[in-house]
Amino acid sequence: MSNSDKQTVQKLFSSADIKINGNRPWDINIHNDRFFRKFLAGGSLALGESYMDGWWDCQVLDQFFYRAMKAGLWGKVSGDMSILLSMIKARVLNPQTISRARKVGEQHYDIGNELYRRMLDKRMVYSCGYWKNANTLDEAQEAKLDLTCRKLGIKKGERVLDIGCGWGGFAQFAAERYRASVLGVTISKDQAQLARERCAGFDVQIELQDYREVQGKFDKIVSIGMFEHVGSRNYITYMETVHRLLLDNGLTMIHTIGRDTSARHGEGDPWVRKYIFPNSQLPSLRQITEAAEGLFVVEDIHNFGADYDKTSLAWQRNFEGAWPELKNEYSERFHRMWNYYLFGGAAACRARKIQLWQIVMSKEGVEGGYKSIR
């Protein structure tokens, strides 16, 4: 380490009111002086990797992230050539072909159902909760599921497609509360297995299948926390697929994390793409609506991205509380990685750098106008 490296990093962090080896909850404490050179060379990817390796700590990570993101700290660090090359590769190739899309299922969702069972709510819903009138994670997730069903106007006996059904939380809820007949599809074998168990006894069918392979017609189609894995090269394909599957008088809804500016594939946080969601890409509203042009009428857009802050922190508390039982199955490096991910997600929404949208669309426009539900 050179003194100039340390001084440069100190200056960068001071712009976000973060001190090196300070005593405030959001200050960063360095355990390995190699951190300074690594961070300057590798940017946000190096920041995350060095945290996973125990090179630095922070008392309250989400407060550190919040200040760094509000100050635009990541944009002030260049990063290395390998990141640039991965971005170029992603723009040339289609990372979400049917075969490549399964990678996120294997790397993120097939890492142990017990981890998610302990981290999530009782319905195992792995997406942003709706906290308007909720005090607990269970209440927030049930409120979100009910809000989704009401926005879609799901009725008894209607056939509903749940794209990216996870562990069956929405499918079970829609079948149980609204008496719908639900087909849920997922590319995660672990999710499919547990979803079938959890939805037993309800009018729910779970398939290990890519959304592009689905056949049939549906009254309502929903994707909750799945569109982040579609990729910009496939946004039009997604819309065309849903248009093909949806009845003419049906409704569809996308529940997705999003970003304020449009990005090509390979852009975004390289640490998240490498360690958490491979081949992921957050869409912008422009990219979603452009893909829908000529196919759908956008009836309603609802942003409750600030609720993801509470949701992610609730997951982190559950995860940390369960760690004494989980640590026999996972390494300490995984422990640090997962906390970094959960705290970072909370801070990004708190800083309003990413959003959470529910977007309702129809094929031909709702006669008389769609009535927004909140």
Quickly list DSSP for 103-130.
Answer: HHIIIIISS-HHHHHHHS-TT---S---
One domain for residues 15 and 101 = no
DSSP 8-state class, residue 283: P
Place of tokens 């599809």: 185
Question: Would you say how long the chain is, in residues?
Answer: 374
CATH of the domain at 299: 3.40.50.150
245 within domain boundaries: yes
Domain residues for the domain of 353 are 97-362
Residues 6+ apart with CB under 8 A from 283: 227, 228, 230, 232, 235, 256, 258, 259, 262
> What's this model's pTM, rounded to 2 decimal places?
0.90
- Cβ atoms of residues 41 and 49 within 8 Å: no
Among 52, 79, 106, give the residue marking a domain's end.
79
Structure-token pair, residue 173: 């809820």
- Cα of 278 vs its chain's centroid, Å: 12
Residue 329: Cβ within 10 Å count: 11
d(CA 36, CA 32): 9
90 within domain boundaries: no
One domain for residues 46 and 123 = no
Helix (H) or strand (E) segment spanning residue 28: strand 28-30
Among 21, 47, 79, give the residue marking a domain's end.
79
How many angstroms separate the most distant Cα atoms in the chain? 69
Residue 77 pLDDT: 75
25 within domain boundaries: yes
- Amino acid (one-letter) located at 189: K
Q: Could you write out the three-class secondary structure of 68-87?
A: HHHCCCHHHCCCCHHHHHHH
Nearest residue to 305 (alpha-carbon basis) of 137, 125, 134, 127: 127
- Cβ atoms of residues 153 and 251 within 8 Å: yes
One domain for residues 221 and 269 = yes
Nearest residue to 96 (alpha-carbon basis) of 236, 201, 215, 223: 236
Residue 279 pLDDT: 80
113 within domain boundaries: yes
Residue 111 pLDDT: 87
The total domain count for the chain is 2
Place of tokens 């829609």: 174
Helix (H) or strand (E) segment spanning residue 250: strand 246-259
352 within domain boundaries: yes
Determine the 3-state secondary structure of 292 from DSSP.
Answer: helix
One domain for residues 36 and 102 = no
Residue 168: Cβ within 10 Å count: 28
One domain for residues 160 and 224 = yes
One domain for residues 215 and 305 = yes
Residues 6+ apart with CB under 8 A from 275: 48, 52, 337, 341
One domain for residues 29 and 113 = no
258 within domain boundaries: yes
One domain for residues 34 and 123 = no
- Cβ atoms of residues 58 and 29 within 8 Å: yes
Among 14, 44, 79, give the residue marking a domain's end.
79
331 within domain boundaries: yes
One domain for residues 210 and 134 = yes
Angle value at C-alpha 357, between 338 and 305, nearest 5 degrees: 55
**pLDDT means over runs of 10, the chain (374 residues):** 84 95 96 95 94 98 96 72 38 51 62 94 98 98 98 98 98 98 96 97 97 97 96 96 98 97 78 90 96 98 97 98 96 97 97 96 96 95
Angle value at C-alpha 127, between 332 and 167, nearest 5 degrees: 80
Residue 103 pLDDT: 53
Angle value at C-alpha 229, between 224 and 235, nearest 5 degrees: 90
One domain for residues 185 and 61 = no
227 within domain boundaries: yes
One domain for residues 57 and 146 = no
- Cβ atoms of residues 8 and 44 within 8 Å: no
One domain for residues 215 and 315 = yes
